[in-house]
Amino acid sequence: MIQCVGPAEKYCGRICCATAFKNALRLKALNPKAEVTILYRDIRAYGFKERLYTEARRQGVRFIRYDFDRRPVVEIPRAAPEIQTSNLHAERPISNPQSPISVRIWEPILGMDVELHPDLLVLSTPLAPAEGARELGSKLKVPVDADGWFLEAHVKLRPVDFASEGIFMAGAAHYPKFLDESIVQAKAAASRAATILARPALAAGGAVAVVDQSKCTACLTCVRICPFSIPKIVSNVTGVGNIMGAAYVEAAICQGCGLCAAECPAKAIGLMHYRDAQVKAKVKALFEEALA
């Protein structure tokens, strides 16, 4: 079994090592004489998975570590006959010196190349992000990391929340994880959503954007600048110059970042508790005492 290749060269697949341990132990249970070798760059046996790692070594599973610049070299002749590997209960070892498959790897302890001829050559492929993850993240306005996994709002404080309110995450779209971990996170996401759905009403934060629609020219600046895609143009309101259509900000979902208020060319948007008149009054009060 070869670990840490393909996408796992960029990020740890997390589940690959434990899966290899379980498969190796299963092979040993079916055929105690089987020779199982796991080639790895790094072992991740977190939590109780360490028991599988310990048991695999106790039963004679061989572990050979390789460096990134000395990855295993696999050679399979094109004319190689089909290898019969279905009879796992056979008395002969699974490692077959007559196998046409050749795996050459540098053994750092022996300081030499080791050549293996296995009957079964297994590549432990890690989980990879879905192809449409970035597109979905762009539509929902939720962050995606450099590899394509979705990012939570905060690792410790908001582990199942996205930065966008009302959207929650669970499962392997977050990062590679086992089924039991996905189930636990799904329960956490459902509980988190229930805390919102169980309320008869939602209280909006004090610092929210408010539009003076009589000054709005429907220029779409606020719609383009908002990172949460909250402002929108409503057609049933008359703006400045009797123009049909003006901006509207839903207070219940506004994050209070103030970008729309700062960028509005018509000064039609104000941030509650941070209006220009309020800020000027605070600055004036701050310096009046010093000037006196």
Mean pLDDT rounded to a whole number for the chain: 86
98 with 152, same domain? no
As a whole-number percent, the residues of the chain with pLDDT over 70 amount to 91
Judge whether residue 291 has pLDDT over 80.
Answer: no
Supply the range of the domain harboring residue 267.
Answer: 209-291
Residue 237 phi/psi, 5° resolution?
-125, 140
188 with 223, same domain? no
169 with 245, same domain? no
For residue 96, being part of any structural domain is answered with yes
The domain total for the chain is 3
For residue 123, being part of any structural domain is answered with no
Q: Identify the pLDDT of residue 140.
A: 86
Unique residue bearing structure tokens 């790897």:
105
For residues 226 and 231, what is the distance between their CA atoms, to the nearest angstrom? 7
227 with 151, same domain? no
Residue 247 phi/psi, 5° resolution?
-75, 150
For residue 265, being part of any structural domain is answered with yes
The amino acid at residue 208 is V
Span 162-173, pLDDT tens digits: 987 789 999 999
For residue 264, being part of any structural domain is answered with yes
Give the CATH number of the domain where residue 287 resides. Answer: 3.30.70.20
Q: Identify the pLDDT of residue 91.
A: 37
Span 75-122, pLDDT tens digits: 887 655 554 443 433 333 345 556 788 999 998 888 889 999 998 899
Mean pLDDT for the stretch of residues 209-234: 89
21 with 104, same domain? yes
Angle (nearest 5°) at CA 281 between 218 and 268: 5
99 with 193, same domain? no
Mean pLDDT for the stretch of residues 159-163: 90
CB-side neighbour CA atoms (13 Å) of 125: 4
For residue 122, being part of any structural domain is answered with no
For residue 124, being part of any structural domain is answered with no
For residue 217, being part of any structural domain is answered with yes
- The residue from 173, 197, 221 where one domain ends is 197
For residue 121, being part of any structural domain is answered with no
Which contiguous run of DSSP H or E holds residue 286? helix 276-291
- Which of 125-154 are b and which e, b meaning 16 or more Cβ less than 10 Å from the residue's Cβ? ebbbbeeebeeebeeeebebeeebbbbbbe
217 with 168, same domain? no
215 with 193, same domain? no
16 with 105, same domain? yes
150 with 187, same domain? yes
If you write DSSP's letter for every residue of 182-221 in order, what string do you get?
HHHHHHHHHHHHHHHHT-SS-PPPSS-EEE-TTT-----H
User: Of 122, 132, 172, 117, which is closest to residue 22 (Cα–Cα)?
Assistant: 122
Judge whether residue 259 has pLDDT over 60.
Answer: yes
- The residue from 88, 116, 144 where one domain ends is 116
